Every structure is written in C-alpha cells, then in structure tokens.
C-alpha cells in the first residue's frame, strides 16, 4: 500500500472468500472495504471470510488502531485483530510494521481443517516466513463457507484515491499447501514517471528552444497560475485530511456555478462538485470573504471532522485555502438538510420510522463525540439544519465550524457564547461556557423539533413568540402530550415512541444542567434499555429563561421563515486540553 499524500491513507485492503452469487453493488468502500454496507454488516447470511489490512481506525466496527491486521467473519467487526508486526526468527522478538509504508510485504494465511485453526502471518519480503503467526484463531470455517465460493481481494483507496494498493503475486490451494512465491520473480511496483536519459549535445540544443518557448508562453502561464493560486502554511502539515487543489475544486463545481449551488447560510455557500474521472459527488463549502467564520473556526473544523469516524457524522474529505477563501469538502448528502423536510413543502414528509431512526442516529453520533473519541468534542450547534440526510434518509450530524475539543477528565475553558437561539441552555447564556450538558439541551430541543415539526422558537411578531418547550410541557401537564406532535404525521406513529421522545426532549431541556441525562443515557432510553424517570410538574424546571429570551430580542427580525437567530464569536472557538 503506497500513500500518494504523506500521512494520508485509504481504508485498506482484504483477502476475502465470499459466495459466488454475492452482489457487491451496494457495498461501501469506506470504511467497509467494499465488502458490505451498514445494513448488512455482520449478518450471518453474508458467508464472508476476510483477512483485513486496515489503515484507518473505525470506531463503528471496533478497530483497535489505524495499522492492524484482522480476521473478519460476515462483516468488518474483526473476531481477532493485532497491530501490524512480525516475529523475527533471528532476534526472537516482535518487530513493528507500517502497512502504509509503501514497502513490500508478504502475507501468509493458513487453515488447518483438522484443528479448526486459522493462522495469519505477516513479514517483509526480505526475510523467510516467521516461526510465529501474528494471529491465531480457532474457528470452524465450514459454518460460514458455502459449496461455491470466490477467492480474491477487495480494497478501498478512499473517496479521493489517497493511496495505491498493489498485489504483486499470490497463490492459493483449497486442499493443501499453496505454492511458494519466488519474490525475485515478482514484478516491480509501477513507476510514477519514466526518467529519460539525454545526451549532453541534445540538452544543449534544447536550451535555446526552451528559452524561446518560455518567452512566448510565460505571460499566459503566470496568469493561469495566479487564477488557481493557493495558500499553504506549516500548521497544515500535521493534520490528516486530504488537501485539494483549488483548480480541481473550481473545475468540479463548474467554476462555482450558481447551477451547482446547494445552499447558503451564515457560514457561506455550499456547492455540489463532481470528480470528472470517477463521477464521485461531494459538497464544497466555500466560506466567502465577508463571512464571519474566520481562520480559527476553519482550523477547528479541519482538526475535528477530519479525524472523526462515525456512520452518523458527515465525513470531511478535504480542504483548500486560497487567498481569503476557505473551502471544505464533504461527503455529498443527496437529500440535503433535515429542516427542509420538516418545514418545506418541496420535500416529502418524513414518516415516524424515519424520524425516530434519525433521532437515534444523531444521538449515537453525540455519544461518540462526548465519550467514545480520543478527546471530548462539543458540537455546540445541534439543530435540524445541521443534520444532513443521505440517500437512505439516515441522519448525519454535520457543520463542525463551532466544534470545541478538550481532553477527557478536564474542563472546557472557552467562555464565549455561540450557537443558535432556541437551542441554548440557560447556563450557557449566563456563563458562555459550553459543556456536554449544553449539547444535551440542544439535542432535547432538536428532539421536540423533529417530533412536533416546529421550530424551538417561532417569531410571530415582536415581542410575541411561541416557545415549543412550553407548549410540550403544557400538553404533558394536561395529560395530552400527543396533542403537540406533528399533524403531518396524521396520527401514524408508535404511541410509546412518540411519548418517549417528547418526554425525553423535556428531560434534556431541564433548566438545571446536572438534572439532564448524558447522551449515553439518552441512547439507553431510546433503545428501551432504561426507564425514563418522572418529570417535575413545575414549568420553571424546563426550557430557556428570560435571559435567553432577551438574547432573542436583541436581534433584528429579518428572517422570513421564522428561524431563530444565530450567535457567533471569532474568539477562542477551539482550544485543546493538552
């Protein structure tokens, strides 16, 4: 595996045995190596065995690190895995290997049918087969393999082809020892360019011609270069996401044509782009010169999204900087943002099953951000317009422009108020300090928004407003909480789930931060693994307070759709605990 960009790799590759009738049309390249998708990953009907060489740590499938070998059965959750290394017969110890080094490696996969033992051994091609395997797993393959199977390889280089994967030679035998490979007879890795020797005389004759050509084309070339000129700084080298050239983004979006415009918001315009070589679509957020999103927020988004991996998060594919322009490249979400489905007649109505699945997906992503990643990530702007829907209408949380990271077991230090009115916890309007509890409050408002089909705060003319939390609480207090659910559902929902979502939305909206559940507890409630506690009967315990309302009225009511104003600061958006 050869990286095309330093420190950036594709997901990896795998030796696989799979049914001859298997259809890979809907398999996901990243992060599932083109073998399965999110809906069938792990199903016993897959009948797949794979030995993965994985160079991306994917929390969704329990990867141990970003440089490991794993034994996979029926999906990408490895039944056995180990960091890439080999046993040196000479030194009598294990020595580390870097899968994405570009160096040639030898992989042996041996199965003893009598003992039901599968061994996987890895080593450089410069040494003989080690005496000890890297992985050993007792497994009865007859339980998983069918009579007719295919044998071969699957690889994923990433959406942007950030690495090349090569199989220079392989041998296989289903009923005995496979033929040994003669490394000296294997082909060489393809060369990136052919060096051509020139004689001194030819070079001398070419120099005058070259000077003439430079004089003729120099001015045009200079103009062309300036058109696509970019900015690169030292700090960019330490971050992982792929760097796009401005030229490639310019062409992919047809010169940032209005026909490719997907939308515009407080942070700039978003365009659809397509790579002509592969027809892969992506979204480009182009932060305009007059946008309030500055370099700190841009860097925050690069750092946080670029290294996060979760099926319910919008994946950052790369970025570019040019003069005063900041550009971020994301996975393309075919169905746009959730708020369009909730409030626009242009989109079809979402049924309750789809809405409940979206809520569970976003909740799962917040558990990952708050507890399961290497640092705590505060999103700080959870709302329907920041939840994007993929082709299957799965919800993915995006727009990490306000994301804040800090180490586990430490306290966030930023004290600047950011977010959207209606989703702001009461303590946030007082102190400006965001915590996981303030994200929970915003998620509570989001839950009520999805269930009721209404915005958290609706402006019907200053100073008159409708506060959604108050409406839900009053209906619950009267014993008629279902009266507030979205009428577009026409009563077609699971009553127990709707009541759970509405009550849980109230609980997450508790005015006391300590009384709110954690996002992991929220997931337990949604999954039915824990019972929801009783809610207090005093309306003072729920929602925002007069301070939050004061913030609302400090903004002009220029919005035609009644959406809540956005609060923003450019100071100290990103700060590390380390």
Rounded Cα–Cα distance for residues 190 and 196 (Å) = 16
Residue pair 74/87 in contact (Cβ under 8 Å)? The answer is no
Residue whose token pair is 């954690």:
518
The encoded tokens of residue 277 equal: 């070589």
Contact 133, 35 (CB under 8 A): no
Stated as kind and residue range, the H or E segment containing 117 is strand 117-124
Q: Are 133 and 112 in contact (CB under 8 A)?
A: no
Q: How many CB atoms lie within 10 A of CB 519?
A: 24
Q: Tell me: is residue 347 an annotated ligand-binding position.
A: no
Cβ-count burial 232-263 (b if 16+ within 10 Å, e if not): eeeeeeeebbbbbebbbbbebbeebeeebebe
- Cβ atoms of 547 and 430 within 8 Å: the answer is yes
Active site residue 571: no
As given in the structure block, the two tokens for residue 84 are 């890439």
Q: Are 404 and 417 in contact (CB under 8 A)?
A: no
User: Buried (b) or exposed (e) across 328-348, using 16+ Cβ within 10 A?
Assistant: bbbbbbebbbbbbbbbeeebe
| CA 230 vs CA 23, 326, 473: distances in Å | 43, 10, 53
Do the strands 85-88 and 93-96 form a parallel or antiparallel pair, or are they unpaired? antiparallel
Cβ–Cβ under 8 Å, residues 52 and 165: no
**Judging by beta carbons within 10 Å of its beta carbon (0-12, 13-18, 19+), is residue 29 exposed, middle or buried?**
middle
CB 285 within 8 Å of CB 270: yes
Do 421 and 564 meet the contact criterion of CB atoms below 8 Å apart? yes
- Whole-number Cα distances in Å, 97 to 53, 105, 135, 291, 339: 12, 9, 14, 46, 47
* Longest CA pairwise span in the chain (Å): 97
Among 381, 399, 439, 486, the active-site one is 381
CA 54 – CA 14 distance, rounded (Å): 8
Strand partners, 71: 51, 80
Report whether the peptide linkage leading into residue 423 is cis, meaning its omega lies within 30 degrees of zero: no
| 23 neighbors 155 (Cβ within 8 angstroms) | no
The whole-angstrom distance between residue 34's C-alpha and the CA centroid of its chain comes to 17
Query: Looking at 251-400, which runs of residues are DSSP E strands?
Result: 261-265, 268-274, 281-287, 316-322, 325-331, 376-378, 387-389, 395-397
Selection from 26, 71, 17 nearest residue 48 by Cα: 17
Q: Is 325 helix (H, G, I), strand (E, B) or coil?
A: strand
* Positions at the binding site: 286
Annotated catalytic sites, by residue? Answer: 381
* Positions at the binding site for ATP: 286
């Amino acid at each position: 595996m050869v990286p095309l960009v330093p420190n950036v790799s594709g997901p990896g590759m795998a030796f696989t045995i799979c049914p001859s009738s298997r259809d890979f049309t809907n398999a996901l390249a990243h992060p599932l190596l083109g073998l399965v998708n999110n809906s069938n990953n792990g199903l016993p009907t897959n009948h797949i065995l794979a030995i993965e060489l994985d160079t991306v740590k994917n929390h969704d499938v329990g990867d141990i690190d970003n440089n490991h070998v794993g034994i996979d059965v029926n999906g990408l959750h490895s039944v056995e895995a180990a960091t890439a290394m080999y046993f040196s017969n000479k030194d009598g110890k294990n020595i580390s290997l870097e899968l994405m080094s570009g160096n040639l490696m030898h992989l042996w996969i041996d199965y003893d049918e009598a003992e039901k033992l599968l061994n996987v051994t890895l080593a450089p091609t410069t040494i003989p087969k080690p005496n000890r395997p890297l992985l050993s797993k007792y497994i009865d393959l007859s339980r998983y393999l069918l009579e007719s199977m295919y044998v071969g390889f699957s690889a994923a280089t990433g959406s942007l082809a950030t690495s090349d994967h090569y199989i220079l030679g392989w041998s296989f035998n289903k009923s005995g020892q496979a033929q040994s490979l003669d490394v000296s007879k294997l082909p060489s890795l393809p060369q990136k360019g052919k060096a051509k020797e020139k004689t001194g005389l030819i070079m001398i004759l070419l120099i005058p011609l070259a000077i003439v050509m430079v004089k003729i084309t120099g001015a045009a070339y200079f103009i062309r270069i300036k058109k696509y000129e970019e900015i690169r700084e030292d700090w960019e080298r330490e971050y992982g996401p792929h760097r796009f050239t401005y030229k490639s983004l310019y062409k992919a979006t047809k010169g940032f044509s209005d026909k490719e415009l997907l939308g515009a918001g407080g942070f700039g315009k978003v365009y659809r782009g397509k790579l002509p070589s592969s027809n892969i679509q992506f979204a480009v957020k182009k932060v305009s010169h007059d946008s309030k999103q500055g370099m700190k927020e841009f860097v925050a988004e690069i750092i946080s999204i670029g290294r996060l991996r979760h099926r319910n998060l919008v994946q950052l594919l790369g970025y570019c900087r040019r003069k005063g322009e900041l550009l971020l490249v994301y996975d393309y979400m075919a169905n746009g943002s959730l708020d369009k489905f909730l409030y626009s007649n242009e989109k079809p109505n979402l049924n309750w099953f789809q809405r409940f699945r979206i809520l569970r997906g976003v909740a799962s992503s917040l558990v990952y951000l708050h507890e399961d990643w290497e640092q705590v990530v505060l999103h700080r702007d959870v709302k329907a317009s920041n939840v994007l829907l993929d082709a299957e209408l799965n919800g993915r949380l995006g727009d990490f422009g306000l994301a804040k990271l800090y180490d586990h077991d430490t306290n966030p230090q930023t004290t600047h108020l950011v977010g959207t009115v209606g989703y702001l916890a009461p303590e946030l309007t007082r102190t400006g300090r965001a915590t996981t509890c303030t994200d929970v409050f915003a998620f509570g408002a989001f839950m009520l928004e999805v269930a009721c089909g209404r915005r958290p705060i609706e402006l019907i003319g200053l100073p008159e407003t409708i506060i959604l939390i108050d409406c839900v609480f009053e209906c619950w207090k009267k014993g008629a909480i279902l009266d507030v659910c979205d009428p577009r559902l026409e009563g077609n929902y699971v009553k127990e789930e709707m009541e759970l979502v509405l009550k849980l939305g109230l609980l997450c909206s508790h005015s006391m931060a300590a009384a709110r559940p954690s996002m992991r507890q929220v997931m337990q409630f949604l999954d039915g693994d824990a019972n929801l506690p009783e809610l207090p009967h005093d309306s003072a315990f729920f929602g925002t307070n007069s301070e939050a309302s004061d913030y609302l009225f400090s903004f002009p009511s220029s919005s035609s759709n009644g959406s809540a104003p956005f609060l923003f600061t450019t100071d100290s958006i990103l700060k590390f605990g380390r």
